Structure 1
């Protein structure tokens, strides 16, 4: 069975800071790896071979002298000259044989010193030998099998090893860490400006006015912050103008409607039947105008404050019960979040009024939903269920449009205003099938 590896995209960091640092780190690591390879595979290899051949040549010279001058007197001066001129400590074990060397871990596993020395000894000495790198941390003990015994050669390890490697690796690691740290500090400052811009945009979308943000960071980020501030100003002006226009039109309409109502009331008795029908139309128009005025008054002026959502819902449910509705509420003891209390009362009140008009039973539920499983609450959910006829699924989105008309009647403003208020909070209103058999209105509000 083939093992499927996760796609590369899933292994990428999700945030801009992580991706930016990865973009910086990847070429840095590649560059350091190439430099290390060039040094390790080129310069270090050449130096190691030359040092190994130098020690092997000295050992080979000593072996050649001992072979040509085998008596004890000559051996003495050879040992003295080797110690003085070649920096080699020699000892001869007469009659011994070269036994197997006990296996040990490599003293310097990342360096080619042992292989280079073994190759050089085979080339320069030409006799059976072994090398002990582990017994003494400061020297290498080389044993060479001669015809009459075993020659022990102790060579200082510094003759085979250069500290340049440590300095080079330290330079590679140190410069890499320094460059990465500097890049991380600068990128963190740049990303902080972008994160603040995102937070300001999210807060503005949720109706939380935090004022103009201060442009900071790179030129492009400052330009984005300036454009965002200008956008906030334009949106505020547009909302204010729309609210004033809506309020003005609604207020102006009340005067002719009042005159029409008075005129209908003064109709003669034989026209009262027709007048009653017209009076109903006028009352319907007055309710529409009242809805406009109510929405216009609260849309742009009320500021969000920390409010108990459960208390608001319980109060609305109690009022509905006093009007004869059967309303059950299932909610936690308390759920506080930033709300425009009056606007939210209109939102939930409209949903309750719609349910009361078309159903006998109403159930309200409140729950806090985390963004990720096990995480902190991100959304507050309010569901209003009823057992009425509901709205067909294909027409549910249409029901949110102003003046949408269905067989159940109504002016079509209640759901439109409810969704507008929820979206001004940064949430939304959705329609679903209710467990009671009717319609469920789900209100989502950010915590």
Structure 2
């Protein structure tokens, strides 16, 4: 028993294998990037298809039929005129025929006795008779003739010359009897209706896409930590549904952030209270040596620094709202603080104009962590800031040992220290870069590590304007 043919045995055997270009993943390469362009394309393509199909049907049926009928009617009139002139050769009868043709048929007829049609434009049945008018004239006359569309073009006349027995019969025909004017009306109607449909559809699509664009802007602003009112649920049903989901999500995230901030505030108070009591007890001790008391004070100070670092990492940027801030002034403030501590820092600020919507306290903490690391490992630090394209750019370079490329991403891990010792005075607690990245990303920016031209590490901060 023969087995049935399985068309799915191989990819090449599939009947639709050659239609791989219809795959959505393949078509995505050729699709426009924006929603407005894609929606407009879904309107333009059907309009063009309708135009092409309608034009084909019109030219293949209506235009050809009408043109043949007009050519046949004109050929019949000319054949009648020629037959009357040849069969009734008296001057009175010819004059009557010519006058009657002018009044009833709109044709200007003249007869040149003894003339002959010559030249390459003469059609005698052996020429190309694909056009409706020459074909109809040959079928009605079976005599040599010429058709000239340009000799009397300014008078909107077409010249037709026919070889008759007595000479050349010249007939001047109005162009409206030869050319089908419905073609121009059809083209104008199709173009006008398409433009009107396209304009109405574009205006409607623009209003729909505008809502989606505002939703994207609201999500982008919220991701950068900028507060704003609830997004209005308007537009199509799917857009309203997405707007309501976005508002619910934003409220849930804000509620969780508020609860976390309140919890950390309570934890901070509870942990600082016993540390304060321990300091007070140390200050009241009289039997303990001054060296031991100093060591205990140092341990307490280390515990406070570690506690502040942990709380700063867990708290993030807290409930601080983004506000217009002069970034150049903020940089000068941070750099001046480290200079007072003896750090060698060069500050370069160029092309920085106008305030920037950032969380000033959080960004100051971020800059402090990064510049602090640079001064800890390098003897000379260079800080530069500028507006580069759509970003506010900050570069922090040092001449320290730097970080190997394979370990740069590990520098952002929480509690991860590249410095081998566990001494917080030399390596911190491993949260500085983590906090800095969280702050920068919370404002929609990015922070990266690269090799510095000064030989050490370059920290690049990009904040969108």
Residues 314-334 of structure 1: CA deviation (Å, up to 9, x unaligned): 222222122111101121163
| Residue of structure 2 equivalent to 1:330 | 348
**Aligned residues of 2:397 and 2:457 also touching (Cα < 8 A):** yes
Instruction: Using the TM superposition, name which of 416-425 and 67-76 deviates more.
Output: 67-76
- 1:403-418 correspondence runs (5 A): 403-406=415-418, 407=420, 409-418=427-436
**Aligned residues of 1:98 and 1:129 also touching (Cα < 8 A):** yes
- Secondary structure of the 1:123 match is helix
| Residue of structure 2 equivalent to 1:349 | 368
Select 2:98's aligned residue among 44, 69, 79. Answer: 79
Select 1:231's aligned residue among 244, 249, 259. Answer: 249
Unaligned stretches of 5+ in structure 1? 1-6, 104-112, 371-377
**Aligned residues of 1:243 and 1:299 also touching (Cα < 8 A):** no
Unaligned stretches of 5+ in structure 2? 1-25, 123-128, 421-425
| Residue of structure 2 equivalent to 1:33 | 52
What RMSD, in angstroms, separates the aligned Cα atoms of the two structures?
2.8
Structure 2 Cα separation of the partners of residues 99 and 9 of structure 1: 63
Structure 1 Cα separation of the partners of residues 400 and 104 of structure 2: 109
Structure 1 Cα separation of the partners of residues 216 and 318 of structure 2: 23
Select 2:382's aligned residue among 355, 363, 388. Answer: 363
Structure 1 Cα separation of the partners of residues 75 and 44 of structure 2: 43
Structure 2 Cα separation of the partners of residues 14 and 243 of structure 1: 40
Residues 318-374 of structure 1: CA deviation (Å, up to 9, x unaligned): 22122111101121163331122222111101111111222111000112221xxxx
- Secondary structure of the 1:443 match is strand
Q: CA deviation at 1:398?
A: 2.3
Q: 1:433 to 1:278 in 2, by over 3 A?
A: farther
Is residue 2:148 matched to residue 1:132? Answer: yes
**Aligned residues of 1:309 and 1:335 also touching (Cα < 8 A):** no
Q: 1:436 to 1:279 in 2, by over 3 A?
A: same
Instruction: Using the TM superposition, name which of 65-74 and 231-240 deviates more.
Output: 65-74
Q: 1:402 to 1:258 in 2, by over 3 A?
A: farther
| Residue of structure 1 equivalent to 2:399 | 387
| Residue of structure 2 equivalent to 1:144 | 162
Instruction: Using the TM superposition, name which of 285-294 and 141-150 deviates more.
Output: 285-294
Q: CA deviation at 1:145?
A: 2.0
Is residue 2:299 matched to residue 1:287? Answer: no
Instruction: Using the TM superposition, name which of 120-129 and 256-265 deviates more.
Output: 256-265
Instruction: Using the TM superposition, name which of 60-69 and 417-426 deviates more.
Output: 60-69
Is residue 2:419 matched to residue 1:400? Answer: no
**Aligned residues of 1:251 and 1:293 also touching (Cα < 8 A):** no
Is residue 2:138 matched to residue 1:122? Answer: yes
Residues 159-202 of structure 1: CA deviation (Å, up to 9, x unaligned): 23444334333332222122212111111110000000011111
Q: CA deviation at 1:232?
A: 0.9
Select 1:242's aligned residue among 243, 260, 274. Answer: 260
Structure 2 Cα separation of the partners of residues 348 and 332 of structure 1: 18
Structure 1 Cα separation of the partners of residues 28 and 137 of structure 2: 52
Q: 1:114 to 1:54 in 2, by over 3 A?
A: farther
Structure 1 Cα separation of the partners of residues 403 and 138 of structure 2: 94
Q: CA deviation at 1:44?
A: 1.0
| Residue of structure 2 equivalent to 1:316 | 334
- 1:133-172 correspondence runs (5 A): 133-134=149-150, 135-136=152-153, 137-172=155-190
**Aligned residues of 1:247 and 1:292 also touching (Cα < 8 A):** no
**Aligned residues of 1:21 and 1:184 also touching (Cα < 8 A):** yes
Residues 369-420 of structure 1: CA deviation (Å, up to 9, x unaligned): 21xxxxxxx1111111111222333332222233222325211122122122
Is residue 2:112 matched to residue 1:93? Answer: yes
Q: 1:334 to 1:138 in 2, by over 3 A?
A: closer
| Residue of structure 2 equivalent to 1:434 | 452
**Aligned residues of 2:208 and 2:235 also touching (Cα < 8 A):** yes
Q: CA deviation at 1:99?
A: 4.6
Is residue 2:440 matched to residue 1:422? Answer: yes
Residues 229-285 of structure 1: CA deviation (Å, up to 9, x unaligned): 111111111111122222222221112233445566749658966x76665443222
Structure 2 Cα separation of the partners of residues 301 and 295 of structure 1: 14
Q: CA deviation at 1:228?
A: 0.7
Q: 1:191 to 1:333 in 2, by over 3 A?
A: closer
- Secondary structure of the 1:180 match is helix
Structure 1 Cα separation of the partners of residues 103 and 431 of structure 2: 107
**Aligned residues of 1:246 and 1:292 also touching (Cα < 8 A):** no
Instruction: Using the TM superposition, name which of 192-201 and 286-295 deviates more.
Output: 286-295
Q: 1:402 to 1:243 in 2, by over 3 A?
A: farther
Q: CA deviation at 1:288?
A: 2.0
Q: 1:102 to 1:326 in 2, by over 3 A?
A: farther
- Could you state the TM-score of these two structures normalised by the residue count of structure 1? 0.86
| Residue of structure 1 equivalent to 2:75 | 56
- 1:158-307 correspondence runs (5 A): 158-261=176-279, 266=285, 269=288, 279-292=297-310, 299-307=317-325
